[in-house]
């Protein structure tokens, strides 16, 4: 399922999926955001959430962290903090 959300006027696209074991994962994309280049960024597939809502909420929080962080920090440093 795909959902569009906004944080500070910036579009965040969430894409949820369910694994074979029933856990939920959610990837996100921030169109036009320099650090992400419009690609989907997910989570470790071994970690999942019991509900779709938890997965979407976590992905949106991770996207907000990227939007709130200074633009000059390399992407790898940002993702390690998440």
- Sheet harboring 24-29: ordered strands across? 2-7, 10-18, 24-29
Instruction: Tell me the per-residue pLDDT of 22-40, one tens digit each, with 9 for 90 and over.
Output: 999 999 998 887 655 445 5
CB atoms inside a 10 Å sphere around CB 24: 19
- Token pair 């000059």 is at which residue? 72
Domain extents in the chain? 2-81
Q: Write out the E strands in 8-59.
A: 10-18, 24-29
| Stretch 18-24: mean pLDDT | 91
State pLDDT tens for residues 49-66. Answer: 999 999 999 999 989 988
Residue 5 has pLDDT above 50, yes or no: yes
């Amino acid at each position: 399922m795909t959902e569009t959300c906004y944080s500070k006027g910036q579009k965040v696209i969430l894409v949820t999926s369910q694994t074979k074991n029933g856990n939920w994962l959610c990837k996100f994309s921030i169109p036009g955001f320099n650090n992400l280049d419009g690609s989907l960024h997910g989570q470790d597939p071994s970690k999942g959430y019991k509900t779709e809502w938890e997965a979407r909420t976590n992905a949106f929080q991770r996207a907000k962290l990227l939007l709130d962080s200074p633009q000059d920090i390399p992407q790898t440093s940002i993702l390690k903090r998440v």
